[in-house]
Chains A and B, each alone.
Chain A
Amino acid sequence: GAVVSQHPSRVICKSGTSVKIECRSLDFQATTMFWYRQFPKQSLMLMATSNEGSKATYEQGVEKDKFLINHASLTLSTLTVTSAHPEDSSFYICSAKRLVGGYTFGSGTRLTVV
């Protein structure tokens, strides 16, 4: 079945540094990738939508300069949290839309900023 590999699964970084999260579709082409953020015991909040080869579309209130999204190929999308601060600590999940058959989610990345 369709698989999205998300790395890293856990990362701890120092305040002020940048962290890159990768989502790779292993056996299908992901023309559209969605990036979500999930706080403890809360729902998934959409941060941005990225389409291969074009700029990402960010949801209202999401800082595009802080959360850089790159979708340079049909199998890889990355989210970079720049100048991370403790309030950026959260669980980040990607989801790839398949041409046929819905969505495939990555396994998530737990980011802790210390």
Chain B
Amino acid sequence: AQTVTQSQPEMSVQEAETVTLSCTYDTSESDYYLFWYKQPPSRQMILVIRQEAYKQQNATENRFSVNFQKAAKSFSLKISDSQLGDAAMYFCAYRSENFGNEKLTFGTGTRLTIIP
């Protein structure tokens, strides 16, 4: 079974600075998807960014980018120019490429605080 580990329960960053959230995973599969989701106080899950394992290029979405290291099974999220609205729980998630096994496996989450 796949597991996802987020070793930082809490992180804080000064507004406008950059912060990196860590995520590692364990799998025996070669094809899969990785995601970062944000859960603000409203508890609505919001997709931040997604990465296909077959792509070597790191995904980028505006201020959010990932460092995907397939051999190391590492998938960190970098948030640049942090804003107050970035404060939330961030969950890393894994999904198998196999049809019929499309569930998301989530990490334990990192609570990000933005310091004004």
Contacts and interface: CB of A to CB of B under 8 A. Distances in A.
Do A and B come from the same complex? yes
Interface of A: 32, 34, 38, 42-46, 49, 91, 93, 95, 97, 102-103, 105, 107-108
B44 A49 contact: no
A102 B50 contact: yes
Given A43-B91, A102-B50, A34 B104 contact: yes
A49 to B, nearest CB: 6
A46 B103 contact: yes
B62 interface: no
Interface residues of B, number: 16
A93 B103 contact: no
Interface in B31-59: 35, 42-45, 47, 50
A97 B33 CA distance: 14
Nearest to A60: B1
B83 interface: no
Contacts of A91: 43
